[in-house]
Structure 1
Amino acid sequence: MLRGLQLAACCTALLQQPSIRQPTAQKVATVDLTDLLSTCVDACERGCAEIRRVAAQLDRNNEGGVRQVDYKIAGDPRSALTAADLAAQLAVVEPLATAWPGLRIVGEEDLACDVGAAADGAVCASPLIEVQPVPVLRRDRCDGLRKYASIAQEERRDIVEASLERVTVFVDPLDGTREFVEGRLENVQCLVGVAVDGRAVAGAVGLPFGGEAGASVVVYGLVGAGVATTGPRSVATRTSAMRPLVAAGDTDDATLRSAYAAARGTTGENVLVGGTGTKILAVVDGFADVAVMNFKSSSWDTCAPEAVLRAAGGRLTDIFGENIAHVPEPADPAGVGYLNALGAVATGPGFASAHDAVRAAMVRDAGATKKLEPWGADVEAALAARRAALFPR
């Protein structure tokens, strides 16, 4: 099941070769979240392998930039689409859908070859997108976290298991496509996140080029059980003594700049970090204390890294201090779908007050409050209405 990813050659091959699919398992009523995370880690590794395979074959210019690239939104470098995005999506989504019949999976590239400027481009028909046998994903990758999840079960059963209809998996097969296109491969990630009732609870953050000696590695976490990795990895060394150190992007957006200023206060400073997942992981690693994302991140960008951040004791909210809703069908009067229209702010342990500082600045910022207008004129009432719609349980 490719869920809308219409890669003509791949889909045709899948239909002609039904034997490559593993037998369909019986739909389950309850999902063991440690088992599900394990399959996400396994699928994430496969996505990383595809990114590496395609990256090695792509033609690049003298500056390291990718030549074979289309754009889902004409003129927007953040909407870049390459064969690596599509190959990784195929490697992640198909095995997960086969392993968990009935599981809701939302992938960034579900419709990439159906709508937008990229639909008429060459990437969707790239020979670099290979159809491979659908593997049986392992369910023992996260056994090291299982005992800690079991201990926490006494207080919160929902970190151990959940009914299938409450679970959604969000996949960003290649987070940081702009960085991938421009040759900044250290900022590229493959993200597979698990949400229960709209909250990110488990996630796998794949680093195709982030392990030691440039190998791939996956950082994964389960809320209540902790964070682990599949192998050794390279972590950036903190060079600034300023606190808080805010992972920020390059922007001319006045509201975003106001959020940066509020987050760093009078004692901190910004550090430029590319990619949503990379910014949040910088907070998990302690390289940064706070990360402020732009207003163009989506649920598939934030679900996996938020889960890892929460598992490490951190917190992610929007610019108004509200929880990010990772839901399969967003209640959205503004028509922005899975977009995190109110941005995202991540903090590590000890810096949670940054959320309050950013919120205080945003309720006075005309650009920020304008984003709430579809929910009402009064800020607090609008936030309450939005909260009730996005988290109805």
Structure 2
Amino acid sequence: MRPENLTEKTSQHTSAQNDRFGDQQNRNEHHNHINSSSKSNNNSPKLHPMMAVQIKPSPVGILILCISFVILIYYMFRSTDVSTTSSISIRELISASIDVAERGGREVVAVKKEHEEHQKSKGETKEGANDPVTDGDFRSHVKITSALRKTFPYLNLVSEEHDQGDLDLTKVQSPNLHIQEVTDHTNFDEIVPVEELTVWVDPLDATQEYTENLLHYVTVMVCIARKGVPIAGVIHKPFEQKSYWAYAGSGLSPILIKQEPKDASKKNVIVSRSHAGSVKEIVQSRLENTDVIPAGGAGYKVLSLFEGVANAYVHTTLIKKWDICAGNALLSAMGGKMTTLKGEQINYDYKDSARNEGGLLASLSGKDHEQFLTALQGAMDS
């Protein structure tokens, strides 16, 4: 045998042995890998049979979740105001009336403090008394009417004063429609078509007394009438920072309290000091044991009935409806009356005249009212 052949065979034998050794080593490594994986899998936690079951959401649960989401979005973005351009919440309008009356009152006080009366004359009354108008009237009027017009643009609004040029309502702060006191002290609300309502505004009652620094007589008044009948009113005393309000049949201001007369043996009558006319002589000639109390401002005189100062408020000459509407509403809410001296109801619809020429009788007692009516029969013709 040739040496090269021996060498070749020896090489082939060695190569075959190496191949068999490599195959065996690979099989051992593969076997070790399998064993290692098996051990690893055996050490992992086993799943409970119940955990393998898929959880399916309940249709009822999904529905409840969706409804809850919709309610949440609604309350996040809804408006809490009830009033619209075509109908108005009386409760919201009362809150707005209180707010704007107090705004007007702050202007009245500010003007007095700034000594900016700059009186202008409206002319003389039938009795010859001067009837001045001041900056306080105008500034209060603007504050009240602009805020009401911004929120209730189609509301029939009648004010003692008149606008001086167009107002930019975009700069006007909207009134508060949700005063907590009103919510707490009213039993119900009414949503009323806007065309049925008339709001009467007296931005400064007792103007004469205002200029004379008799400030306890001064009031700011807002009244709400429905189909000519006063159903709610606000009388604000700016120099005392008190607001008296009432909503007939629903509720009233907690400070509006009926007090008994200090002297039950007398029937006191309160009359106007600046529109006296012949009322003193008429009352004293027709009613026995009666004291006549002169006072300023129709709003003040109505509040004096609640305070027990007088049994009746009598006026025998012309008086404007913005002077008496709020007082009429407060009296009605407490079971009182306000009529002409002939016992006729006063119409406060905006289509009717702003002048009440039938005289005035107001009282908190129906019995007193009838007695005074009987005693004063024919007084307007005297």
**TM-score calculated relative to the size of structure 1:** 0.67
Post-superposition offset of 1:369:
4.2
The equivalent of 1:359 in structure 2 is 373
| Cα distance in 2 for residues equivalent to 1:309 and 1:42 | 21
The equivalent of 1:164 in structure 2 is 194
Where do residues 101-140 of structure 1 align in structure 2 (5 Å cutoff)? Answer: 101-110=153-162, 133-140=171-178
- Asked if 1:338 corresponds to 2:354, the answer is yes
Greater shift after overlay, 220-229 or 184-193?
220-229
Where do residues 74-93 of structure 1 align in structure 2 (5 Å cutoff)? Answer: 74=124, 77=129, 79-93=131-145
- Asked if 1:96 corresponds to 2:155, the answer is no
Post-superposition offset of 1:256:
6.3
Post-superposition offset of 1:168:
0.3
- Asked if 1:202 corresponds to 2:232, the answer is yes
Gaps of 5+ in 2: 1-81
Where do residues 247-326 of structure 1 align in structure 2 (5 Å cutoff)? Answer: 247-250=270-273, 253-254=277-278, 257-259=281-283, 262=286, 265-326=287-348
| Cα distance in 2 for residues equivalent to 1:89 and 1:39 | 15
The equivalent of 2:91 in structure 1 is 34
Greater shift after overlay, 281-290 or 40-49?
281-290
Q: Tell me, yes or no, if the aligned pair for 1:171 and 1:300 is still in contact at 8 Å.
A: yes
The equivalent of 1:391 in structure 2 is none
RMSD of aligned Cα (Å): 3.2
Post-superposition offset of 1:78:
5.3
Quick one: which of 50, 53, 60 aligns to 2:107? 50
Q: Tell me, yes or no, if the aligned pair for 2:101 and 2:236 is still in contact at 8 Å.
A: yes
**TM-score calculated relative to the size of structure 2:** 0.69
Residues 1:259 and 1:149: Cα distance change in structure 2 (over 3 Å): farther
| Cα distance in 2 for residues equivalent to 1:168 and 1:185 | 29
Gaps of 5+ in 1: 1-24, 60-65, 115-130, 151-159, 211-215, 331-336, 371-393
| Cα distance in 2 for residues equivalent to 1:260 and 1:196 | 36
Post-superposition offset of 1:313:
2.1
Post-superposition offset of 1:247:
1.2
| Cα distance in 1 for residues equivalent to 2:124 and 2:271 | 25
| Cα distance in 2 for residues equivalent to 1:309 and 1:46 | 24
The equivalent of 1:177 in structure 2 is 207
The one-character-per-residue Cα deviations of 1:310-352 (angstroms, maximum 9, x if unpaired) are 112211111111111112022xxxxxx312111211101xx32
Post-superposition offset of 1:77:
4.2
The one-character-per-residue Cα deviations of 1:51-74 (angstroms, maximum 9, x if unpaired) are 111110016xxxxxx6x2111115
Residues 1:362 and 1:207: Cα distance change in structure 2 (over 3 Å): same
* Higher RCO (CA-CA < 8 Å; seq separation 6+): 1
| Cα distance in 2 for residues equivalent to 1:244 and 1:173 | 31
Identity %: 23
Residues 1:288 and 1:26: Cα distance change in structure 2 (over 3 Å): closer
Higher Rg? 2
Quick one: which of 159, 179, 188 aligns to 1:149? 188
Greater shift after overlay, 318-327 or 87-96?
318-327
Q: Tell me, yes or no, if the aligned pair for 2:271 and 2:279 is still in contact at 8 Å.
A: no
| Cα distance in 2 for residues equivalent to 1:238 and 1:97 | 41
Q: Tell me, yes or no, if the aligned pair for 1:320 and 1:358 is still in contact at 8 Å.
A: no
Post-superposition offset of 1:226:
3.0
Post-superposition offset of 1:132:
10
